[in-house]
Amino acid sequence: MPAGTLYRGREGMWSWVAHRVTGVLIFFFLFVHVLDTALVRVSPETYDETVAIYKTPVVNLMEYGLVAAVLFHALNGLRLVAVDFWSKGPRYQKQMLWTVMGIWGVLMIGAFYPILQHTLHSLSGS
């Protein structure tokens, strides 16, 4: 185990781990995403053929996962800002984490159908 990677456990450490993992995932996705978007400079056909991959069921599900990662990273990032800049932030960090998870859960339920409707429709043949 590299030095300094173990912290005190519990909410504070796990939210930090999740923030780090989601940050790395989003960064790698962004790299790929700029490359695929750059195909608009090649030809409309090349771009549309590549975007078709984004419309397959497996990749569509990965988009839902990407949204899950981004939403967590964004909401928890705002919590970090509150912990650092709000005088009572550190005292309420735990409550704020559960607020983040609550908002995250509601948004994920709300996003389920809109994001996956493409796959749901294609699988049900309509």
Partner 1 sequence: MSTETANAPSEGGGSTGTTRYSVDNPAPLMTPPRARTARTPKSTRTNFELYGWLFMRLSGIVLVVLVIGHLLIQLVLDGGVSKISFAFVAGRWASPFWQIWDLMMLWLAMLHGMNGMRTIINDYAERDGTRMWLKMLLYTATAFTVLLGTLVIFTFDPNIR
Task: Tell me the two tokens of residue 59.
Answer: 């990749």
C-alpha to C-alpha distance for 36 and 46, rounded to whole angstroms: 10
Number of residues that bind partner 1 (CB under 8 A): 43
Residues ≥6 apart with Cβ < 8 Å to 57 = 119, 122, 123
Q: Is 40 in the site for partner 1 (CB under 8 A)?
A: yes
77 contacts 19 by C-beta, under 8 angstroms: yes
Q: Is 78 in the site for ligand HEM (CB under 6 A)?
A: yes
List of residues contacting partner 1 (CB under 8 A): 2-5, 20, 23-24, 26-27, 30-31, 34-35, 37-38, 40-41, 43-45, 47-48, 51, 54-55, 60, 63, 67, 70-71, 74, 77-78, 80-81, 84-85, 111, 114-118
